[in-house]
């Protein structure tokens, strides 16, 4: 798992002993905004969408989509009143590992390498958020889409699953029509292959070339 890949084997094994596997059907909720935080979650397979609802409780704002190896609720664990600040739902049949909050805190106290790994992971996440802000302010929709596709390719390999256009639009700070138009352009130019919502990138370098630095 990304959070703990640098851990000594004995620390990683101690953590895995505390984990419980949860299987989720497509559309099944992992947790709801406002619920007490009960565990740290690690995605083993599938995709999990993290989102918030508008004040009327109707429109979803997708905050991020996490795939295998990614961690959910790592920040919420440390809030003064630990409740989930958003909701999480499986976009497809998925499996997550749940590590109970109390046991995770105990392991952090007992095993300093685990605490250091968590700090490094949170620092990387902070860097990713700053990068996202930079993309939203300075990059065009096509560039943001190319960066998203390349990031998924690096994390999941060829044939990765694409969120729906409204979900992807929320992630990229745009509208579904712009996502559809730019995906169509990349497909027509042969820069991506689509099979349903599965994507292959035959030449990652060509996609990289569309991103201004």
Q: Measured in whole angstroms, how far is the alpha carbon of residue 192 from the centre of its chain?
A: 21
Which residues of the chain does CATH 1.10.10.10 include?
Answer: 139-208
Q: Which two tokens stand for residue 22?
A: 């949860």
Which residues of the chain does CATH 2.60.120.10 include?
Answer: 2-129
pLDDT per residue as tens digits for the range 165-197: 888 887 777 788 888 888 998 999 999 999 888
195 by Cβ neighbours in 10 Å (0-12 / 13-18 / 19+) ranks as exposed
Q: What is the pLDDT of residue 95?
A: 94
User: In the predicted model, is pLDDT for residue 98 greater than 50?
Assistant: yes
The share of the chain scoring above pLDDT 70, in percent, equals: 87
Q: What is the pLDDT of residue 67?
A: 83
**Spatial CA neighbour of 76 closest among 116, 31, 133:** 31
Torsion angles phi and psi, residue 68, rounded to 5: -55, 135
What average pLDDT does the chain have? 83
- Sign (positive or negative) of CA dihedral 34, 99, 116, 62: negative
**Spatial CA neighbour of 69 closest among 101, 38, 96, 99:** 96
User: In the predicted model, is pLDDT for residue 1 greater than 60?
Assistant: no
Q: If you average pLDDT over residues 143-153, what whole number do you get? A: 88
Q: Which two tokens stand for residue 154?
A: 């690096």
Q: Which two tokens stand for residue 64?
A: 């991020």
For residue 41, list its beta bridge partners.
72, 98
Q: Which strand (E) or helix (H) includes residue 134?
A: helix 112-138
Cα separation, 77 vs 198, whole angstroms: 33
pLDDT per residue as tens digits for the range 6-65: 677 788 788 888 889 999 999 999 999 989 999 999 898 888 988 887 777 666 677 778
pLDDT band at 127 (very low <50, low <70, confident <90, very high): low
Local structure of 11: helix, strand or coil: helix
User: In the predicted model, is pLDDT for residue 90 greater than 90?
Assistant: yes
Q: What pTM was estimated for this model as a whole?
A: 0.62
Report helix angle 141-156 to 112-138, nearest 10: 150
Q: What is the pLDDT of residue 22?
A: 94
CATH 2.60.120.10 is held by the domain 2-129: yes
Query: Under CATH, which number does the domain 139-208 receive?
Result: 1.10.10.10
């Amino acid at each position: 798992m990304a959070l703990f890949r640098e851990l000594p084997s004995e620390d990683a094994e101690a953590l895995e002993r505390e984990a419980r596997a949860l299987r989720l059907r497509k559309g099944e909720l992992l947790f709801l905004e406002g619920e007490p935080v009960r565990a740290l979650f690690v995605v083993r397979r599938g995709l999990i969408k993290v989102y918030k609802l508008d004040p009327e409780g109707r429109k979803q704002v997708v905050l991020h989509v996490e795939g295998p190896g990614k961690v959910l609720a790592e920040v919420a664990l440390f809030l003064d009143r630990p409740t989930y600040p958003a909701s999480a739902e499986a976009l497809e049949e998925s499996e997550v590992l749940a590590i109970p909050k109390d046991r995770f805190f105990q392991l952090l106290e007992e095993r300093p390498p685990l605490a250091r790994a968590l700090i490094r992971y949170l620092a990387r996440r902070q860097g990713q958020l700053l990068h996202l802000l930079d993309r939203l302010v300075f990059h065009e929709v096509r560039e943001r889409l190319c960066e998203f596709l390349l990031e998924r390719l690096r994390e999941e390999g060829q044939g990765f699953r694409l969120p729906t256009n409204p979900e992807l639009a929320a992630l990229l700070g745009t509208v579904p029509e712009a996502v559809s138009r730019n995906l169509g352009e990349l497909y027509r130019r042969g820069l991506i292959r689509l099979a349903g919502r599965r994507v292959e990138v035959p030449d990652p370098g060509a996609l990289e070339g569309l991103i201004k630095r």
